[in-house]
């Protein structure tokens, strides 16, 4: 069982290492990708997860397939089979818009906290896919937000370092969240 580590776990504050072409082809690396997806699946509220969040300091993160579904993006219940999870290896932001947007963020490794974070609205990211093929994606909206949040994890940065107006989610006596 893979578990998601939470603050103050030291893996969350380390700078993660890039993956070599050779490493990407190993069975161990394929296992890391499936571990990331399995760990993410344990949380309904999760949209992305980086390797340091399962205590592996390698530069890779996963984005949940549901994020690539139009219904989900429009706040509707997705119909049919969800797209597969996508993995981003050695990601680098090569271009950021001057335009910034402020959005609320939370993190599976920082339980019960959320806050407003200002980030570029649109980013271009270069990365390797799981076959080691170099790709480029230009995204805005929630994907731009996820990409930047996850790349921060690879550099040991948490959203709480950047957030203003940090708040704790009120807990009910039975432990459920409001």
Q: Is 51 in the site for Zn ion (CB under 5 A)?
A: no
| Stretch of 30-38, 62-70, 84-92, 102-110 contacting Zn ion, by CB under 5 A | 102-110
70-76: Cβ within 8 A, 24+ apart: 73/141, 73/142
| Stretch of 2-10, 14-22, 61-69, 107-115 contacting Zn ion, by CB under 5 A | 107-115
H-helix segments, the chain: 21-24, 27-41, 70-73, 141-154
Look at residues 83, 52, 56, 91 and name the one whose alpha carbon lies nearest to residue 67.
83
Question: Least CB distance from residue 149 to Zn ion, whole Å?
Answer: 6
150 is catalytic: yes
Rg of the Cα atoms in the chain: 16
Total number of residues that touch Zn ion (CB under 5 A): 1
- Toward Zn ion, which CB reaches closer, 32 or 158? 158
What is the total residue count of the chain? Answer: 178
Contacting residue, 62, 107, 125, 151, with Zn ion by CB under 5 A: 107
| Stretch of 61-69, 84-92, 100-108, 162-170 contacting Zn ion, by CB under 5 A | 100-108
Say whether 75 sits in a helix, a strand or coil.
coil
Say whether 24 sits in a helix, a strand or coil.
helix
Question: Least CB distance from residue 106 to Zn ion, whole Å?
Answer: 8
Provide the binding-site residues for Zn ion, judged by CB under 5 A.
107
Which positions are catalytic?
150
């Amino acid at each position: 069982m893979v578990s998601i580590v939470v603050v103050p776990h030291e893996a969350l504050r380390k700078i993660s290492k890039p993956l070599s072409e050779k490493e990407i082809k190993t069975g161990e690396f394929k296992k890391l990708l499936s571990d990331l997806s399995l760990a993410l699946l344990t949380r309904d509220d999760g949209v992305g997860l980086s390797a340091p969040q399962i205590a592996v300091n390698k530069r890779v993160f996963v984005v949940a397939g549901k994020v690539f579904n139009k219904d989900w993006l429009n706040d509707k219940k997705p119909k049919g089979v969800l797209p597969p999870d996508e993995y981003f290896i050695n990601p680098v932001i090569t271009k950021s818009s001057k335009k910034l947007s402020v959005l609320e963020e939370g993190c599976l490794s920082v339980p019960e906290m959320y806050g407003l974070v200002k980030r570029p609205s649109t980013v271009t990211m270069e990365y390797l896919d799981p076959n080691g093929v170099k790709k480029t994606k230009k995204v805005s909206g929630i994907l731009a937000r996820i990409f930047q949040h996850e790349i921060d994890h690879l550099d040991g940065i948490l959203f709480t370092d950047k957030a203003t107006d940090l708040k704790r989610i009120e807990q009910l006596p039975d432990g459920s969240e409001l």
